[in-house]
Amino acid sequence: MELQKAIDIYNEKKKLSLAMNHALGVLSYDNETAAPKNSYMGLANTFGVISEMEYKSKVNAEYFDVVDTLIANKEQLDPILKREAEEEEHSLKVMRSIPMEEYVEFTEMLSKAHTAWVEAKNESDFSKASPFLEKIVAYSKRVASLVSPGMDPYDFWLNEYEKGLSTAVLDAFFKRIREALVPIIKRISEKGELFRTDFMNEKCPIELQRKLSDYIMEVMHINRDDCSIGETEHPFTTHFNKHDVRITTHYHEDSVVSNMYSVIHEGGHALYELNTGDELIGSTIASGTSMSIHESQSRFFENIIGRSEEFCELIFPKIKELFPVQFDGVTARDFYLAVNKAEPSLIRTEADELTYSLHIMIRYELEKKMMRGEIEVKDVPKEWNRLYKEYLGVDVPDDRNGVLQDMHWFGGMLGYFPSYALGSAYGAQMLHHMKKELDFSSLVRENRLDVIIGWLTERIYKYGMLLGPNEIIMNTCGEPFDPDYYVNYLTEKMTDIYGL
Amino acid sequence: MELQKAIDIYNEKKKLSLAMNHALGVLSYDNETAAPKNSYMGLANTFGVISEMEYKSKVNAEYFDVVDTLIANKEQLDPILKREAEEEEHSLKVMRSIPMEEYVEFTEMLSKAHTAWVEAKNESDFSKASPFLEKIVAYSKRVASLVSPGMDPYDFWLNEYEKGLSTAVLDAFFKRIREALVPIIKRISEKGELFRTDFMNEKCPIELQRKLSDYIMEVMHINRDDCSIGETEHPFTTHFNKHDVRITTHYHEDSVVSNMYSVIHEGGHALYELNTGDELIGSTIASGTSMSIHESQSRFFENIIGRSEEFCELIFPKIKELFPVQFDGVTARDFYLAVNKAEPSLIRTEADELTYSLHIMIRYELEKKMMRGEIEVKDVPKEWNRLYKEYLGVDVPDDRNGVLQDMHWFGGMLGYFPSYALGSAYGAQMLHHMKKELDFSSLVRENRLDVIIGWLTERIYKYGMLLGPNEIIMNTCGEPFDPDYYVNYLTEKMTDIYGL
C-alpha cells in the first residue's frame, strides 16, 4: 500500500476509534457514578455493538496492511504518528489474535462484572463476583497464549501494563522492599503508641468535606473547568481528553483524611492528563505513558507531597477552619504524625506509606498464582486472608474488607497492581533528583505546587506517550530505575517520625 | 428486495442505531450533569462522528429499499415491527432530504449551543447564544423546505412533534384558552391577597430537600433502581430504556416547592417511560408516543395530582417533619392555597396552573414569527419582553429571567412548547374520564397513586409508540380532544380557591 493512502485510512479509522473510546469511556463513567442500578441491563448491548464495530473496523486485511505500511515506513513519519503507529501495532497484536465473538462477549461481560463486584462487596459475598473473576482469568490466559504462545501468561500481562516488566524483575523488587521494610515495621510496632490519633475519626459533615476537596483542587492547581469530582465506591480517574478529566472520591463522615488523600491521589493522576502537550490533542497518545509512571505521579502527590510535614503545615489552617470543633487543640505536627502512622491494616487504599507495598505484594502473589493456575479462583479469599496474616499480621474479618475491597480484578485488570508499588518507588527516585534543582520544602510550605507541577510537566506530562517509561525515568533522574531511593526515603522518614 | 432480507438488514441497522442513540444520550446527559465545563470541546467531534456514522448507515439506496420493502409489506409484519417501519420511514424522510455535511455540522453545533446557552443565561447576555439560535432557525426552516416544500415551515415542525398539529389548530386552541382564562386572571388580581404565602420562601437546607425528593419518588412509586435523580440548571427527563430513566431537578435553598414540583413533573415523564410494555424492550418504539401526551402525564402529576388539596394533605406531614421551623403554624390547607396562588409571573416553570398557558402562548407566537421570518433572532428579546407585558402584565428585568430562561430553542426544539399547553388540556380531559372509574380523591389522599398509575399504564404507558396521540386520547377518554374540559377544570378549581 502507498504510504499516503495508509496514512489517510489510518486517520479516518482513528477518528472513529477516538469517538468510540470517548463514548465507551463516558458510558462507563456514567455507569459508575450517575446511572441507576439497572442501567447495566441496557449497557451490555451497547458495549457489545461498539466493541464489535471497533473490532470489525480494525481486524481486517486492509487495516493490517495499513498498519504494516506505517511501521515499515515509520522513520519517515512525524514523531506523533510514528508513536501512534507503534501503539496501534501493539494493540492490534492482541485484537488480531482473538476471534471477534470472544472479544465482544468479553467486553459485554466486563460491564456486568463491575455491577456484580459492587453487589458482592456490599453483601460481602465473594461468590457473587467469583464467576466473573473466573472468566476474566480464563480470558486473560487465553489472550496471552494466543498472542505470545509459550510465554508465561502473567509475564505477558505485566509487560502489557509496563513495557519490559516481568515476574523476574518484580520478584527481585519485592524481595528488596520486603527485606528492608519488614524489620522497620517490626521496630515501629514494638515502640507502641507514640502520638495521638484520636482526632482522625471525628465526625466531619460531608458538605464541609466537599469544601475541603475544592480547596485541595485549588492547591493542586487543577482547573475545575477541565476536571470534575464525582463520587463512587472506589475512587478513580478517567479522562477523555486534556480538557475533560474526571476524578472521583468517596466521603466517609468519620474519616476526613480518607476523602482528602483520595482527592490528592486522583488529583495526581489528573495533573498528568491535564498537562499533556497541546500538540497531542486528537492523537491516540495524549495520555500517560504507563501505569507505573501514572502511579508514580498519583503517589508522589498523595504521599511524598501530601504526607510531608510541609504540606500538612500548609493545609492544616483550612482543616481547622472547616472543622474547628473536631480539630480543637490539634497542631499541624500532630496531624502530620497521625497521617503517617505506620500500622499494618486491612485496606490498601487507606494503608500508610510504609506498609502499603506489602498490600501490593499480596495481590502480586495472588495474581501470579491465578494466572499460573496454581490457585483456583474460589480459593483466593482463603489465600488472601492467609497472606494478610503472614505478611501484615492482621485478621481479615470478611471479604468486603478482604478480597473484594478493590475493583481492579473485576474490571479485567490482572497485572496492574504492581504498578502502584513500582510507581511509589519511581516517585522517591524522582524526588531525590528534583531536590537538586528545586527547594522542594519551601515550595510546598509556601503553596507553590505550580513550580513542582511545572518541573514534572517539562520532564513527564507534556510528552504523553511520546516517551516510554524508561525514557521518562532517564528524563527525570538521569539514570535508570533504582529501588534504593525508595528504601532510603522511607527509612529516613520513619526515622524522623519514630526516632528509630 | 425480499421481505426477509429487508427484515434482517433492518434489525442489524437497528441494533447499531439503538447503541449509538444510547451513547449519544448518555454523552448528552453527562454533559449536562457531571462533565466539567470544557468537556464540550471534545464532545463535538464525537457527536459528529456518531451522527455521520448513523447518516451513512441509513442514507443509502440499499437502506431506502429496505424501508420501502417493509412499508410495502407492512400488513404482514408483527405490530411492533410495523410501527417501527412507519417511524423509520418518517424519520428517514428528514434524513434523506439533508446533505450529510449539513446534518453532521448541525449535530456538532447543537452540543456547543447548549454550552453557550448555559453561559449566556448565567451572564444574562443573549448575544452569547443568539448566533446559535440563528443557525437553529435557519436549519429548521431548511429542513422543512427540503422535506415538505411549500408547507409552512412552522406547521411542518408542529406536525413533527405532534402528528396532525398545525398553527390552525393551535390558533383556535389558544384563542379559546385566552378568552376563557384572561377574565378569570383579571378577577383574581382584583381580589388582592386572600391567603398567606410567607412560608413559601423560607430557607430549607438542600440536604433535607434531597430527602423530600426521595420521599416524593416513593409516593410516586418510582423504582430508584430504574430511575436516578441528577441536578441541573433546568430539570429534564431522559431515558435509554425502561430500566434506565434519568430525571433531574434543581435545588434552591429558599424555595422548597420549586424542587418539589420539578421532581413531580419529571417523575410524571419518568413513569411513562418506566411503564412501557416489556415486549417493546429493544424496539425503537419503547417510548412515549408524542410530546403532548408526554406533557399530559408530567403535568397531570405536577398539577392535577400534585396541586390537588388531597395531595397537599398527603405530603404535608412529611414537609412539616423535614422543615418544622420553616412550616411552623402552617396548615395543609395553607400550603394548598399557596401552591395554587394565581399570579402573573416571569418564569414559565414556576408559573401557576392558571397563567401557565399564557407563557406558552408567548413562546408559540415567537416561534411562529421566527419560523416565518417575521422577526429576526436579535429582536426576539425585545418582542419577548413586550409580549410578557401585554399578556401577563409583567416587566422582564433581564434576559436571564426572560428569553434565556428555557433551554428548548437552544437545543434545536422549535415547535415543542405548544405541547406543554396541549398536554395540560389533555390531562384535564383524562381526569374527567378517570373519575368515572376511580375514586380519584380518596386514592390520592390515601397514598394509593399506584392505582392511578395502573389506570394510566393500561390505557397509555404500556403502548409506548404502538398507538398515536389521537388513539391515546380515544383510549383514555372515549372521545376526541376537547379543550373545554381544561377550561372547566381551571374555572372550577379557581372558583373553589378564590370564591369567584
DSSP string, B292-340: HHHHHHHHIIIIIITTSHHHHHHHHHHHHHH-TTTTTT--HHHHHHHHT
The pLDDT assigned to B350 comes to: 82
Q: Looking at the complex, does the CB of residue B211 fall below 8 Å from at least one CB of chain A?
A: no
Cβ proximity of B162 and B419 under 8 Å: yes
Contact across the interface for B34 and A38, Cβ inside 8 Å: no
Please name which of B224, B182, B240 lies closest in space to residue B30, comparing C-alpha atoms.
B240
Q: Measured between beta carbons, which residues in chain A are less than 8 angstroms from residue B282?
A: 45
How close B253 comes to chain A (CA, Å)?
Answer: 14
The pLDDT assigned to B431 comes to: 98
The pLDDT assigned to B115 comes to: 87
Cβ proximity of B303 and B424 under 8 Å: yes
Contact across the interface for A37 and B225, Cβ inside 8 Å: yes
Contact across the interface for B225 and A42, Cβ inside 8 Å: no
Query: Which member of B19, B39, B49 has the closest CB to residue A46?
Result: B19
**pLDDT above 90 for A94:** no
The pLDDT assigned to A500 comes to: 82
- The DSSP H or E segment spanning A358 is helix A353-371
**Adjacent-strand bridge partners of B239:** B245
Q: Looking at the complex, does the CB of residue A228 fall below 8 Å from at least one CB of chain B?
A: yes
Q: Measured between beta carbons, which residues in chain A are less than 8 angstroms from residue B224?
A: 36-37
Q: Percent of chain A scored above 90 by pLDDT?
A: 88
Query: Which member of A23, A207, A225 has the closest CB to residue B36?
Result: A225
Contact across the interface for B246 and A16, Cβ inside 8 Å: no
Whose cell is 417510548? That residue is B287
Q: Return the percent helix, strand and coil in chain B, to nearest 5.
A: 70, 5, 25
Please name which of B374, B306, B361, B357 lies closest in space to residue B336, comparing C-alpha atoms.
B306
Q: Measured between beta carbons, which residues in chain A are less than 8 angstroms from residue B46?
A: 18-19, 22-23
In this structure, are strands A244-249 and A237-241 parallel, antiparallel, or unpaired? antiparallel
Residue A420 per-residue DSSP state: H
**Mean pLDDT, residues A270-285 taken together:** 97
- Give the sign of the dihedral formed by CA A135, CA A136, CA A142, CA A145: negative
Q: Looking at the complex, does the CB of residue B241 fall below 8 Å from at least one CB of chain A?
A: yes
Q: Looking at the complex, does the CB of residue B373 fall below 8 Å from at least one CB of chain A?
A: no
Please name which of A168, A194, A312, A287 lies closest in space to residue A237, comparing C-alpha atoms.
A287
Counting one residue from A and one from B, how many pairs have CB atoms under 8 Å apart? 125
Contact across the interface for A16 and B49, Cβ inside 8 Å: yes
Taking the C-alpha atoms of residue B268 and residue A155, their distance in angstroms, rounded to an integer, is: 55
Taking the C-alpha atoms of residue B158 and residue B311, their distance in angstroms, rounded to an integer, is: 34
Cβ proximity of B469 and B460 under 8 Å: no
Please give the angle made by the CA atoms of A430, A297 and A455, to the nearest 5 degrees: 55
Segment A149-207, tens digit of pLDDT? 999 999 999 999 888 899 999 999 999 999 999 899 989 989 888 999 999 999 999 99
The pLDDT assigned to A379 comes to: 97
Amino acid at B444: V
**pLDDT above 90 for A320:** yes
Cβ proximity of B420 and B437 under 8 Å: no
- Of residues B41 and A137, more confidence is placed in A137
Residues in chain B, pLDDT under 50: none
Which pLDDT band holds residue A363 (cuts at 50, 70, 90)? very high
**Mean pLDDT, residues A64-71 taken together:** 97
Please name which of A496, A484, A460 lies closest in space to residue A340, comparing C-alpha atoms.
A496
**Adjacent-strand bridge partners of B241:** B244
**pLDDT above 90 for A10:** yes
**Mean pLDDT, residues A242-262 taken together:** 96
The pLDDT assigned to B164 comes to: 85
Taking the C-alpha atoms of residue B368 and residue A224, their distance in angstroms, rounded to an integer, is: 40
The pLDDT assigned to B96 comes to: 85
**pLDDT above 90 for A233:** no
Please name which of B138, B61, B113 lies closest in space to residue B146, comparing C-alpha atoms.
B138
End-to-end Cα distance, chain A? 67
The pLDDT assigned to A164 comes to: 85
Query: Which member of A45, A50, A244 has the closest CB to residue B39?
Result: A244
Q: How many CA atoms lie less than 13 Å away from A165 in the CB half-sphere?
A: 29
Q: Looking at the complex, does the CB of residue A17 fall below 8 Å from at least one CB of chain B?
A: no
Q: How many CB atoms lie within 10 A of CB A194?
A: 11
**pLDDT above 90 for A129:** yes
Q: Looking at the complex, does the CB of residue A374 fall below 8 Å from at least one CB of chain B?
A: no
Q: How far is CA B160 from CA A12, B93, B155, in A?
A: 34, 11, 9
Residues 6+ apart with CB under 8 A from A104: A48, A51, A52, A55
Taking the C-alpha atoms of residue A411 and residue A117, their distance in angstroms, rounded to an integer, is: 9
Which pLDDT band holds residue A438 (cuts at 50, 70, 90)? very high
Contact across the interface for B39 and A224, Cβ inside 8 Å: no
Hey, what's the cell of B364?
A: 408559540
How close B243 comes to chain A (CA, Å)?
Answer: 6
The model's pTM is: 0.88
Hey, what's the cell of A268?
A: 495526581
